Amino acid sequence: MKMRNKVFTIVVALMITIFLTLYLIVSMVFLQSFAALEKQKTSESVTRATNVLSNELSEISSRVTDWAFWDDTYFFVQGKNENYVSLNLLDSTFANLRLNLMVFINATGQVVYGEVFDLNNSTGTAMSQDITEDITFRSTLWNFTAKDSKMEGIVLLPQEPLLFSSKPILTSQEGGPIMGALIMGRYIDAREISYLSNTVRFPIAVTRFNDPQAQNGFQIARSSLSNASPIFVEPLNADAVGGYALINDVYSNPALILRIELPRDIYNQGLTTVTSFMALVAVICAIFGAAMIILLEKGMLSTLSKLTNTVKEMGTKEISPHTISRFRTDETSILADAIKDALSQRLAAIEELAGMVGHDLRNPLTSINGAAYYLRTKYESKMDARGKEMLKIIEDDVAYSNKIINDLSEYSRKIQLEYVDTTAKMLTKQALFLVNIPKNIDVIDLTEDETEIAIDPDKMKRVFVNLIKNAIDAMPRGGSLAIRSTKISDGVKFTFSDTGNGMSKETLKKICSPLFTTKAKGMGFGLAISKRLVEAHGGSLSFESTIGKGTTATIFMPTKTKPEMKNEIWVELPTLGAQPAIESPFLPG
């Protein structure tokens, strides 16, 4: 498949993936958030409705207090106030207090007076025998032993659920003894439910908890409501959501289910927002995808296609038929092969140039070194301190220049390996012998002598020496260097762990790059050459560092016995240009 077709396919697939991903996120997160917000608001409205019902009960309780703690009532239940009923228990009293029931019970448990009032027709009737017996039977509603006792809440009567309050009858100064109880109640009927709905400004419906003829929504809510979860929210349809509340009676048993009905404004607004957003995303994805394809076509694909044709024309004149066969792949592979061929030619040219430069520079350096030797042997005794210092500078700079030439030549030439069997302990000892260890550096050799490896000892000694010197340079105030070898399944792992100041992440990324150094002097070839030598053996070189704790260099070498492998090794061409000097406790190069 051509690059152009690949890019088109990838861009289209990417846009579709982005759209579907956003759709899933919006559906699973945003819509769920709107649904959760709808549930929260509905639950708050349910709580508001139940609070209104509680306020109704508080109002009744306040009225009972006014009437029960009154001398007239106190004497009435004892039969000492014959005008009490005619003066106080009028139809207007029931209407003004919005009461459906008022019962006076004396200290012996007898109903002194009871009346049921129809608020719809504004007519009162004597309390029926059934209600009288029901209330008399429920002695906990009126049989008080303490002045501060009370019973209030909901009781299920055969006619309607009753919202009531009952308190002991005392004197106006709340003195005793208790002469009975006063019960006031209000039916939770259609009139009361309408009043509650007008108060909270949304529809309310109430049904008995165990009503077998309740609507389906109430039956679903009944299975989900409990004392632990007294509120349940369930959408009724696409336009309305229902909020249900469990209401217990005065005995803490499930008595009623209250339902409010709200429009689904929040969820529908969220649905509209999500739909509009996804439509906008679809348009943006289409525009962005088309723009990306156009920009890639004009900015890269057409140019890459022309470059590919040019590379083909250049390659067919000088490269082999085997190389020409590689042109049958896509444009990137063709370009990579062409660059690889050009790079190989450039590396060969650099090797030749490095040899010529090294030869031309070594001749004058040899003369300078010889002249310095002559001056030292013939005239050193006659020189003052300044002259001797200048002579040493000449000798040091000649040695430093020779090192640069050697590093450049080493890096640019092919690596030839001569394998010899040796051990980790022997290799480490030979490398340590070549390094001048300062007195303030403690070197700990923990390498093993049992593991044999096939390597080029001269090449690997150079790697070890370079790592040891770098570790020493990283600890100018002293420290310790631990060298370990560990036998693993397919090779040997060497670690060089110092206690220097460590390196930053930026330095770690460039540590083995040619021409990168953090030293005041140096070309930055030391670790680059070391990495080449290790990789030429089929191994790897890596670094880990923590600022303030130190650096660990790790070498992995495969355990092969004189492997049959290609000994001529090329590596990437170094990037030429100015390299910034970065202060580092581990000094490559």
Instruction: Flag whether pLDDT at 563 surpasses 80.
Output: no
Residues 445 and 403 in one domain: no
Residues 77 and 186 in one domain: yes
Range of lowest pLDDT (81-85, 179-183, 365-369): 365-369
CATH label of the domain that carries residue 494:
3.30.565.10
Among 266, 284, 318, the domain-final residue is 266
Residues 42 and 191 in one domain: yes
Answer yes or no: is 284 within a domain: no
Residues 403 and 425 in one domain: no
Q: If phi over 0 gives left and psi between -120 and 50 gives alpha, with beta otherwise, what is residue 153?
A: left
Instruction: Please give the pLDDT value at position 49.
Output: 93
Band (167; pLDDT cuts 50, 70, 90): very high
Instruction: Please give the pLDDT value at position 585.
Output: 35
Residues 77 and 153 in one domain: yes
pLDDT tens digits for range 500-556: 888 888 888 777 776 566 665 555 667 878 888 888 888 889 999 888 888 999 999
Answer yes or no: is 187 within a domain: yes
Among 244, 266, 288, the domain-final residue is 266
Among 240, 266, 292, the domain-final residue is 266
Measured CA to CA, the distance from residue 22 to residue 282 in angstroms comes to 10
pLDDT tens digits for range 271-328: 888 888 888 888 888 898 888 888 877 766 676 676 666 556 544 443 333 333 444 4
Mean pLDDT of the chain: 81
Residues 210 and 335 in one domain: no
Residues 203 and 225 in one domain: yes
Residues 498 and 551 in one domain: yes
What does the pLDDT average to over 258-281? 87
**Measuring CA to CA, which residue among 333, 285, 302, 325 is closest to residue 7?**
302
Name which residue leads in pLDDT, 248 or 130: 248
Answer yes or no: is 163 within a domain: yes
Measured CA to CA, the distance from residue 310 to residue 196 in angstroms comes to 86
Measured CA to CA, the distance from residue 87 to residue 126 in angstroms comes to 17
How many angstroms from the chain centroid is the CA of residue 405? 53
Alpha carbon distances (Å) from 29 to 266, 280, 454: 15, 18, 60
pLDDT tens digits for range 22-62: 888 887 787 888 888 899 999 999 999 999 999 999 999 99
Answer yes or no: is 222 within a domain: yes
Answer yes or no: is 77 within a domain: yes
Q: What are the backbone dihedrals phi and psi of residue 347, each rounded to the nearest 5 degrees, phi first?
A: -65, -40
Residue 147 and residue 141 in contact, taking contact as beta carbons nearer than 8 Å:
no
Alpha carbon distances (Å) from 554 to 456, 496, 498, 530: 18, 7, 12, 12
CATH label of the domain that carries residue 224:
3.30.450.20
Which residue range(s) make up the domain with 351? 331-407
What is the pTM for the complete model shown?
0.48
Range of lowest pLDDT (84-98, 133-147, 160-174, 376-390): 376-390
Q: Which residues contact 242 (CB under 8 A, 6 or more apart)?
A: 42, 217, 221, 233, 234, 235, 236, 259, 260, 261, 262
Answer yes or no: is 31 within a domain: no
Q: Which two tokens stand for residue 529?
A: 């050459």
Alpha carbon distances (Å) from 367 to 362, 363, 371, 374: 9, 6, 6, 10
Residues 379 and 252 in one domain: no
Place of tokens 């529908």: 268
pLDDT tens digits for range 404-427: 666 666 665 667 788 888 888 888
Number of domains in the chain: 3
Answer yes or no: is 294 within a domain: no
Residue 208 and residue 255 in contact, taking contact as beta carbons nearer than 8 Å:
yes
Residues 167 and 254 in one domain: yes
Residue 558: how many other CB atoms lie within 10 Å: 15
Answer yes or no: is 578 within a domain: no
Residues 383 and 338 in one domain: yes
Residues 464 and 507 in one domain: yes
Instruction: Please give the pLDDT value at position 566.
Output: 43
Measured CA to CA, the distance from residue 3 to residue 271 in angstroms comes to 41
